[in-house]
Amino acid sequence: MSRRDELAANLGAVRARIDAACADAVRDAAEVRLTVVTKFFPASDVRLLAELGVTDVGENRHQEAEAKAAECADLGLRWHFIGGLQSNKAVAVARYADVVESVDRTKLVAGLGRGAGESDRDVDVLLQVSLDPPGAEHRSGAEADALHDLADAVEATDRLSLRGLMAVAPLGGDPAAAFAQLAETHRELLARHPGATWLSAGMSGDLEQAIAAGATHVRVGSAVLGTRPEFK
Ligand SMILES: *Cc1c(COP(=O)(O)O)cnc(C)c1O
């Protein structure tokens, strides 16, 4: 099987899972957008995915993302930055990312605004919220009570648009319970920021639970591209 055929088959299976999950949740499948997470995979795969109709790709490491976005600049894709972001990289990320999904502290906001302004672009922002139980070793994401200040900081910054929330289910936990909590946090944010309608949740292993809880964007890597190469 060629790589193209393999990606086409995997993509078809993921799209069928999304459609089935939407049907189960009595939601219109057009409400849920697929971002294919291409981290660790080469630009040649991104090119094949674009040919297969993928419009949105996600990356989690700045250097890899920057290089791939440059190599694939002719494809008209929307690049989502979904990884932990160092504040000294925020300016650079905003020069190529169309959506930054992992904004979890106010310190990042000015840099993103500056990068967007300097490169004359508009950048969509999602606030990453932690779904880890209190006291758990912190992976990433803001605590829910920090979201209002963070949202206000994004809204006050030129060239940044607050679009909603992003989260990752806790390792080993029940994703349905975590996503129900996320949906509640999203409703609270929407009460103050009615434009923040996006909810990015769900990956290869838990996209059904995320769609049941109202996800508008799912981020799927391994179910499309295969097992990631070993971390070097
Ligand atoms: C890698 C990654 C994904 C995709 O994970 P898969 O399990 O491979 O689908 C989604 N979201 C984030 C934030 C990631 O880092």
Q: What is the pLDDT of residue 232?
A: 46
d(CA 35, CA 55): 8
What DSSP designation does 230 have?
Answer: P
The tens digit of pLDDT for each residue in 78-118 reads 999 999 999 999 999 999 999 999 999 999 999 999 999 99
The tens digit of pLDDT for each residue in 164-216 reads 999 999 988 899 999 999 999 999 999 999 999 999 999 999 999 999 999 99
| Ligand 1 site, residue 168, Cβ cutoff 6 A | yes
d(CA 54, CA 180): 28
Phi/psi of residue 24, each to 5°? -60, -35
- Please give the model's pTM, rounded to 2 decimal places: 0.97
Burial group, residue 177, by CB count within 10 angstroms (0-12, 13-18, 19+): middle
The tens digit of pLDDT for each residue in 146-158 reads 999 999 999 999 9
What's domain 3-225's superfamily in CATH?
A: Alanine racemase (3.20.20.10)
**117 Cα to the center of ligand 1, angstroms:** 29
| Ligand 1 site, residue 77, Cβ cutoff 6 A | no
Other CB atoms closer than 10 Å to residue 190's CB: what's the count?
15
| Ligand 1 site, residue 37, Cβ cutoff 6 A | yes
